[in-house]
Structure 1
Amino acid sequence: MSRLSLTSVGSTAAQTHPYILVTYKGSSIAVPRADCSQYGECVRLSECQIFKMTGLMRAIRNAFPVLQDTDDKMLVIEAVIPRASNAVQIVPTLWPHIYDTVTEIVVRTPPTEAEERMKMITEVATSTVSVNMPDGKTLKFEINLNYADARDLKLLIQKKIGVPVERQVLSLHNMKWVNKRDGTSGYAQTGTEIFEDDALIECYVSPGDTLRMRLTRKPQEAPVLDVVVRSGR
């Protein structure tokens, strides 16, 4: 069963409004409301409802091309109706009674693997880690040290300041006593680089630590050479 998230208001205003506001991941676009009146009275009610819902789904996909290949069953449909404080799921048999009064739709899709991973990284068993930036500023992150690796932290930094992951190098800011992977203990020196091959906790990053981020040089573009080819006779 496909599902959508909707907001319903008074019937008078909604019935006279030719558009439905569709919101997906924070972006909103007005789409035309499908109308069977152009076909006259010869269209049966059941056919009209199918036409309306088919038209709505087509309009949603046209408004958000990223949903073009998404199956209807993967679209989450909920409705905010009068006297309901939260969005509620709408069963298919109810749609014929509310379609003409719906004025706003919020379309949701199941989270991707990347979104699920980011949720685990930023919401589950998190610890505070600070990162000193090249400009002297310090950013703080709540991150799951047992799950996240250095690349995950770099992605969070990229979201905050726009520096591409590929140009970031993370290292320890202070020397610290650590248990090494080979079973021995010793000091991890200041400037020890934190690689992307394991969880941060296994790369000597502990709760409350301060790290340092530096930038690598931009890769130099290879010069373009003009080659002249002469053919002999």
Structure 2
Amino acid sequence: MQNVAEHMSTKDYYRILEIKPSAGSQEIRKAYRALAQRFHPDKNAGNPLAQLRFQEIKEAYEVLCDKQKRDAWHYQHYNPLQKSAPTAYSADDILQQSIQLYKKYSNQDPFRLNQDTLFAQIKQLLSNDYIRILQLQGEIHTNSAVINNILQSTYLLPYEYVQPISALLKNITPVLPQTEEDIQSCLLEKKRQMLWNKYKIPLAILLAGVLITIMLLSK
């Protein structure tokens, strides 16, 4: 049984379904239906590779559509977190793991960063079990410090990753009032960045067109 689990952990189910780790349940189902239809054995008679692909797609869907299985697979698959962040038994353990995470990525080259791995490691820190530990021990300053370290670790991530992270961070209580504001401020800043990156080129083209029109009319 252990060998099977280790084998499953080596598969990248997100890559198999051609989605990102931030994908929600609807996106997972949509990707599964499209790929299952494409590689279904009935449509690929005599093609053993298609049949193997179909089985992998089915396996990936069965894991990712089940929250408990998905969380367990995250823990198995992302080995860097397992090595640097052992199982936590107290709020202080979680705090130390958040510090290690921040230190690891504070000087990271943004062009060499694996965003999917960072996102998965943050989600592991925000697992149901970890959040429950923080809630039960109720150490307001420790909770706020954990959130602060995670927020600082998200500076290299885009809005689509930070949005679900922020939702999980809000489940950690109690925290300082400023910490609640920091979560919202981080999310708003990432949203502004997303909108700017999305519309800066159209705006630049529009502005250039306006300037050219003004120049032509002034002649």
TM tier, smaller: under 0.3
Q: Which structure would you say has the larger Rg?
A: 1
Tell me: higher relative CO, structure 1 or 2? Use CA pairs within 8 A at least 6 residues apart.
Answer: 1
Which has the larger helix fraction? 2
Scaled by the length of structure 1, the TM-score of the pair is 0.25
Which has the larger strand fraction? 1
